[in-house]
Amino acid sequence: MNTRVSSSPFGRALDGAERNKVLRNTYALLAVSMIPTVLGAWVGVSTGITAAMGGGLSLILFFAAAFGFIYAIEKTKHSATGVWVLLAFTFFMGLMMSRLIAFVLGFSNGASLIMTAFGGTAGVFFAMASLASVIKRDLSGLQKFLFVGVIVLLVGMVINMFVGSSVGMMVLSMIAIAIFSAFMLVDIKRVIDGGETNYISATLAIYLDIVNVFQNLLMLLGIFGGERD
């Protein structure tokens, strides 16, 4: 899932120093947000709390809580409270990812697959950040097409939940990686261009891109590279 965030509420362009400050704060908060994410994943794997839920219940809980968190973050983004709400959300996201992580850890090479997915996601992030810093054209027009792609992707995932096709999951995961990598590029470019003035909103958007790339890359690695004892 992803969220789009608005530009400056005051309608003014940021100067270079202000843009750099927002970008630095975004990257710093993004790095910090990985700590509760990892902690949430560890708690989920250790306790098995998400594994005990059925697929439908887990999906309902995820969407209800995720949209609630996103709403709360946007409401508190202009205060320090927004940082803590964001970090609570990243803990929740780690907790919800623990079911997939526990499944992959069931493979004999599970730990290696997770590190490969992490490294691949980091590679995508650095590639998109580098591209965003050199591309001169405005990429905001891509958001509409990418948003339509997300809707189609969600519909496809719901259908595949009932069909249970491994091939369908593989195709959907590859499409998701492409869509959220593009979203990552657009979101980072918006911060660089001064279109996003709030580092909490910027962090939220880029964090969701990263999480979606990681999850789908991990699913692909599990399908193709998972080894049983």
For residue range 204-228, list pLDDT tens digits in order. Answer: 999 999 999 999 999 999 888 777 7
Is residue 6 in some structural domain? no
Query: In total, how many domains does the chain have?
Result: 1
Is residue 23 in some structural domain? yes
Is residue 210 in some structural domain? yes
Residues of the chain below pLDDT 50: 2-12
Is residue 10 in some structural domain? no
Position 164 scores a pLDDT of 76
Is residue 152 in some structural domain? yes
What's the domain range around 208? 16-225
Is residue 79 in some structural domain? yes
Is residue 159 in some structural domain? yes
- What's the pLDDT tens digit per position in 16-54? 788 889 999 999 999 999 999 999 999 999 988 776 665
Yes or no: say if 39 and 94 are a contact pair by the CB < 8 Å rule.
yes
Is residue 4 in some structural domain? no
